[in-house]
Structure 1
């Protein structure tokens, strides 16, 4: 009986061949890893202040220096930013600074850049925009108090104030109302929680109108996480809870252009410059100068990046959703998730350039949040295989292929990542 080799990893779907994935990271010289944070290298928790990251993982990222960048809708700075998590996990800022443990890459959807040393900048963002953003957290807190003044039987007093403190994320470039804490507190009142989601959506719309009145029309947009994709006008569709699931928990007020897929181009631009001294898109390129549509972003890469220098791209995320609904009597797939578009672009770049780019998915459903669908596995003859992914099983023509998956969550992913780092020369 002849042996039939399995297809190459980038041509597989839902592969559990973590050994081959480790080999790719350990032995590929021209490599660029672009990785999300929450749910990928640390667990998802109700209160963002409870997040921790392992020193061993941080040390592993250093072995990939120059070949590893983060791309997140969270932020590097602030009391809920990644830097503070790193400092708490290491025992203080002094240790983090001395060891250069800060994670390089783009935060706030792509408008907050950080070096390994922790130097921060906001490419393309004006002082007027930063000033407007600075006032948003207080407005979020006020709106939450107004909501619960009308639902005082549900939550009030010190408990309400504690929840507000946990939920209003005073990020510098992406202030956020995170409803995870409220979802837990309102578990027996799903109708109140759903009303709260709609109140936060209304707040986001009010903020956009206020910005326009202050001469900043078009400067911002709203990111809902997780979401049901984008509507015909390009705006994201919130996922309103209809039961135990939390649906959209993060209502992020963000700078226009701060979309992860544009961040892929910004990181590629810096990667090429570090290797050649030349920026294919120009030294002053930022996500704010990038197009928003998938095809236009891909065309920009094809037009400006030397194929001979194109690295193997490994995208890593945990938030990919789809749900099939009936519209006008026909099934329609609503595809979303904050990692979907950047992973899809990495996949498309690999196809256009003939590179073995890998889309890597980390199952974060084991965390405290109830808005993630677990991978479904089947054991046959002592061998496990994935029989259902994170999307709707009725969505049979999803263009995004998850090449390698980690059903064991962030711990399993981090262990594989650290193994690859230890082997990398």
Structure 2
């Protein structure tokens, strides 16, 4: 088996072969998540760090690399600020175009290498509604702490709120990692807080509907256990050693990564062919909600002759198996699952060697990722357990390459393929 059919690989550690394929493929497109992939997961998002050598490598790929993240480019918690801190001189980032191009906010905040931001398909009344949400977050969290956790001092509460409330322009978020640590001796409180925040988000969705914005927003949970029959993401309840769902993101409709794949691909075709297959004004909000319809749209509208080899890279994919009345119940989730599955299925539809790569982010401060298991068998390192649950043999996502040592290992690989 050569590098001409890497999509048949499964849980491979042969990164050199993957790099060789990418280096020798001119028409390629890398779509990559951020947190946990090129940065370590930390309890406080303000403490995130990015290697500027990785940033320079991303710029070298120019129009062949785009990020796709549920975080945001701008603001206090944005990735742009992290890049500026990593640069030897912050002024060169904008001057020389070192910002990471691509989609943030799940797919509604577009940025080029020079930090120019646009919001495809977003309405002003939606932005106005979102701007009021962080203050509501603070009030509810402060009341919970004061009423349910009197052992927390005012100073500790203030520091915690500063860390957990992400004042994002298009995706205001509560990240509970700090509270998981504060409530380590009170796991019942952390679970109660999870449920409190979920209820708050549902109240905000109801409020939006009453304000005439019924179809504008949805709740994204990370990590999650997939979606229920109505398409609503399922919260992963915490256990004593697993923080479960930590990120509660109030998102704009269309801000789903699989829709973002179509937006990026539409942009890529324009840059390389001069035409937009989905039209110049296409936005993620216009993408179908059904997975197969997304695949069919790409097959129908995009020229096979110009279709690039696509590598999708993520770190948040999971599955959970439980038994109820003797019946096995499988729940597959993770915020990267659907966009990686779409890239895989586009490859099948065009008979192109698309690559799915998975970065093991379980070694960070956040303890809600399942680690990849690697064993030494007859002198060779072999992945013996990947993303799939051992009792889920029908896992549809085939991960071709894994990076069990986390973001640093992936960043080294990334720098290699960009020279």
Residue 392 of structure 1: CA displacement?
1.5
Residue 148 of structure 1: CA displacement?
1.4
Residue 232 in structure 1 maps to residue 217 in structure 2: no
Residue 7 of structure 1: CA displacement?
8.6
What is aligned with 1:46? 43
CA deviation vs aligned residue, 1:36-73 (integer Å, no higher than 9, x gap)? 00000010000000011111101101111000000000
Give 3-state SS (helix, strand or coil) of 1:314's partner. Answer: strand
Residue 169 in structure 1 maps to residue 157 in structure 2: no
Gapped runs of 5+ residues in structure 2? Answer: none
Q: Output the CA distance in 2 between the equivalents of 1:222 and 1:92.
A: 38
Contact 1:365–1:373, Cα closer than 8 Å, also in 2:
yes
Contact 2:3–2:21, Cα closer than 8 Å, also in 1:
no
Residue 312 in structure 1 maps to residue 314 in structure 2: no
Q: Output the CA distance in 2 between the equivalents of 1:304 and 1:30.
A: 18
CA deviation vs aligned residue, 1:218-276 (integer Å, no higher than 9, x gap)? 21000000000000000000101022100000000000111000100000000001111
What is aligned with 1:155? 152
The one of 339, 363, 368 equivalent to 2:365 is 368
Residue 251 in structure 1 maps to residue 248 in structure 2: yes
Residue 93 of structure 1: CA displacement?
3.8
CA deviation vs aligned residue, 1:79-127 (integer Å, no higher than 9, x gap)? 1101011111115541211221100000001000001111001100000
Structure 1 moving runs of 4+ over 4 Å = 4-7
Contact 2:4–2:353, Cα closer than 8 Å, also in 1:
no
The one of 2, 5, 9 equivalent to 1:8 is 5
Q: Output the CA distance in 1 between the equivalents of 2:58 and 2:311.
A: 14
What is aligned with 1:383? 380
Residue 134 in structure 1 maps to residue 156 in structure 2: no
Residue 6 of structure 1: CA displacement?
8.8
The one of 28, 32, 43 equivalent to 1:31 is 28
Residue 114 in structure 1 maps to residue 111 in structure 2: yes
The one of 168, 182, 185 equivalent to 1:185 is 182
Contact 1:324–1:333, Cα closer than 8 Å, also in 2:
yes
User: How well do the aligned residues superpose, as a CA RMSD in angstroms?
Assistant: 1.2
Residue 326 of structure 1: CA displacement?
1.8
Residue 153 of structure 1: CA displacement?
2.8
Q: Output the CA distance in 1 between the equivalents of 2:22 and 2:5.
A: 14
Contact 2:318–2:333, Cα closer than 8 Å, also in 1:
yes
Give 3-state SS (helix, strand or coil) of 2:114's partner. Answer: coil
What is aligned with 1:402? 399
Give 3-state SS (helix, strand or coil) of 2:99's partner. Answer: coil
Residue 273 in structure 1 maps to residue 275 in structure 2: no
Moved more, 94-103 or 158-167: 94-103
Q: Output the CA distance in 2 between the equivalents of 1:372 and 1:149.
A: 30
Residue 147 of structure 1: CA displacement?
1.1
Residue 415 in structure 1 maps to residue 402 in structure 2: no
The one of 197, 204, 225 equivalent to 1:207 is 204
Give 3-state SS (helix, strand or coil) of 2:63's partner. Answer: coil
What is aligned with 2:71? 74
Give 3-state SS (helix, strand or coil) of 2:410's partner. Answer: helix
What is aligned with 1:358? 355
Residue 289 in structure 1 maps to residue 286 in structure 2: yes
Residue 371 of structure 1: CA displacement?
0.4
Q: Output the CA distance in 2 between the equivalents of 1:213 and 1:169.
A: 25
Q: Assess, with a 3 A threshold, how the Cα gap between structure 1 residues 406 and 289 changes in structure 2: closer, same or farther.
A: same
Give 3-state SS (helix, strand or coil) of 2:152's partner. Answer: coil
Residue 155 of structure 1: CA displacement?
2.3
Q: Output the CA distance in 2 between the equivalents of 1:278 and 1:187.
A: 54
Contact 1:86–1:102, Cα closer than 8 Å, also in 2:
yes
- TM-score normalised by the chain length of structure 2: 0.98
